[in-house]
Structure 1
Amino acid sequence: MANDTAVSRRTGIDHDTVCELLPDFEAYGWVTHVAFGGTSGWTLTERGRDEDTRKLAEELEEAGARAAVEQAHKAFEILNGRLVQACTDWQLRPTESDRLASNDHSDPAWDARVLDELTVLGGGLTQLVCGLSDALARFGGYGERFSAALARARAGEGQWVAGVGVPSCHAVWMELHEDLLSTLGIPRGAEPGTR
């Protein structure tokens, strides 16, 4: 779910054009505007997902980029487990009596280790996206967005590691994951090794 401003920022389309397009897309049945819990924004409908799948397949075919995206997806899968673990370690810090104890961020060495791991993963992400954006330019920017979130986390803004509602390291990573899956037409949960 994203508001007009977020859609504009993420797509690089100017805000006025976004404000014209989204109601048109709503009329086509591709998106709907929803509100709950004090937040609101646009989200894809089932029909919109189908249209997105069609357009992504068309783009992939026209660009001749399937092999590059498949290779990037395989490289991403190798890194993904480490990112999930790093985000878990940011949120939880097991104790002798509670293996699911929240990380209160009182141990700077623990947090520094997590941030160091995210730095290494960010390097891998940047390398992966560099090659991928040569095949499909729309994949550009993920590395910069991840690095920007990590810089904010290193500056003491902990929500930029795995926070919701901000383009945190975790949010950028999961957006790339979804982008790879959608581009390849792989339903979430249908990847090898998922249950």
Structure 2
Amino acid sequence: MTHTPVLGRSSQPELLVLHSVRIQGMADDDAVAARFDLDRAETRETLLDDEAYGWVTHSVFVGTEGWSVTERGRAEDDRRLAEELAEANARPVVEQAHKAFRPLNGRLLQACTDWQLRPEEDDRLVPNTHTDREWDARVLAELGAVDDELGPLVAPLAAVLTRFEGYDNRFSVALGRAKSGQGEWVAGTGIGSCHVVWMELHEDLISTLGIQRAE
């Protein structure tokens, strides 16, 4: 018997808070709430509850502070994601998206490497000083090609699980800033750069499917 996916299933706020911490790696209250456009006060309360359950931990490191998920929290997120995926009958859609994502992932990572490094004959780890305009233009063109394929990948995902909405738009915005001369938007950290958005999408896909990154 064929099961029809429940279109546009919205995740529960409690799931989104924990999942936001997971896919961002480390994030403060504002970043956790902003990722899925959640109410900040309610997000704060949920984070404190999650901390009491041992699912997240708050830490301060060299002037940076934020929440990160624990192993127990990862297991709880896995449980919730698996339950949601089954209820939405969305596994085939997410599996297809992950299959399409994998070759794009290699291209994206290579492009980000090429943005950061400009190999020479005797040293392949020479930093890219961004003085070679043709080199940088080629990298941005490759990111543009990836961007063109991201929309068709995200659309069916968002149609079954709405928390996947916006990855393509965020990537396009970051790429637009990079093309305007703000090079940090290719692979910078602490901002929604192309690389950061991509890593979040990668973690979202594999955690939703319950697979390890190495797989």
Q: TM-score, normalised by structure 1?
A: 0.95
Alignment deviations for residues 10-33 of structure 1 (CA, whole Å, 9 cap, x no partner):
021111111221111111111110
Say which of 17, 39, 44 aligns to 2:64.
39
Matched, 1:136 2:132: no
Say which of 68, 74, 78 aligns to 1:49.
74
State the distance in 2 between where 1:57 and 1:162 align: 31
Alignment deviations for residues 165-187 of structure 1 (CA, whole Å, 9 cap, x no partner):
11110111011001110000001
Unaligned segments of structure 2, at least 5 residues:
1-25
Matched, 1:85 2:104: no
Letter in 2 for 1:139: F
Partner of 1:18: 43
Matched, 1:153 2:178: yes
Alignment deviations for residues 18-67 of structure 1 (CA, whole Å, 9 cap, x no partner):
12211111111111101112111001111110100000000000000000
Count the aligned residue pairs. Answer: 190
Say which of 195, 198, 204 aligns to 1:170.
195
Partner of 1:127: 152
Tell me the secondary structure at the aligned position of residue 33 of structure 1.
strand
Alignment deviations for residues 63-117 of structure 1 (CA, whole Å, 9 cap, x no partner):
0000000000000002111001100110011122322111000011111111111
- When the two chains are superposed, the root-mean-square deviation of aligned CA atoms in Å is 0.9
Say which of 97, 101, 114 aligns to 2:139.
114
Unaligned segments of structure 1, at least 5 residues:
none
State the distance in 1 between where 2:60 and 2:133 align: 39
Partner of 2:4: none
Letter in 2 for 1:156: G
Matched, 1:94 2:119: yes
Cα offset for 1:134? 0.8
